[in-house]
Amino acid sequence: MEPSPPEPQESPNDSRWQLAADVLRFQAKLFVDGLRDLLMSPISLVAALIGLLFEPATPRRLFDRVLAFGRETEVWINLFGSRSGQPGIDDLFTSLEDRLKQQVEQGGMTATAKQKIDESLDAIHEKVRAANEKSEP
């Protein structure tokens, strides 16, 4: 049996850009989740108050709708990426990432900016490595 060919390894630049994309995606999800929580607090209180004052037969009806909306948005936000294959905010990020990748492949400003950032990060990494080598006995 022949050994399988080695899998291509991710370059440090690709790894850096993937980390940057993952961090930006997570931060955006945290922002959306926090905004949702900020809005859900007063909305839930108003829903409960309306139910208590104006719907004595079914006081939980509006509050339960608020909870259902919260569950739906929780799935849509998918903060920690535990649900795959379901429509949500990840689809928006994937679309954005695909557009950016297209622009980089076509060259132009996005590709130039990516190259400059990669060169700057490589230079910083080299300086840190050189400084660490000098400080070692």
Do 36 and 44 meet the contact criterion of CB atoms below 8 Å apart? no
Domain count, the chain: 1
Per-residue pLDDT at 41: 96
Residue 8: pLDDT band with limits 50, 70, 90: low
| Backbone φ and ψ of 80, nearest 5° | -105, 10
User: Is 125 within a domain?
Assistant: no
User: b/e for 9-47, b at 16 or more Cβ within 10 A?
Assistant: eeeeeeebbeeeeeeebeeebeeebeebeeebeebbeeb
Mean residue pLDDT across the chain: 82
Structural domain includes residue 113: no
Range of the domain at 46: 13-83
Whether 54 maps to a domain, the answer reads yes
Cα gap 32→39, rounded to integer Å: 11
What is the CA 18 to chain-centroid distance, rounded? 11
Residue 20 falls within a domain, yes or no?
yes
Task: Determine, yes or no, domain membership for 23.
Answer: yes
* Whether pLDDT at 95 is above 90: no
Model pTM score = 0.66
**Cβ neighbours around 110 below 10 Å, total:** 16
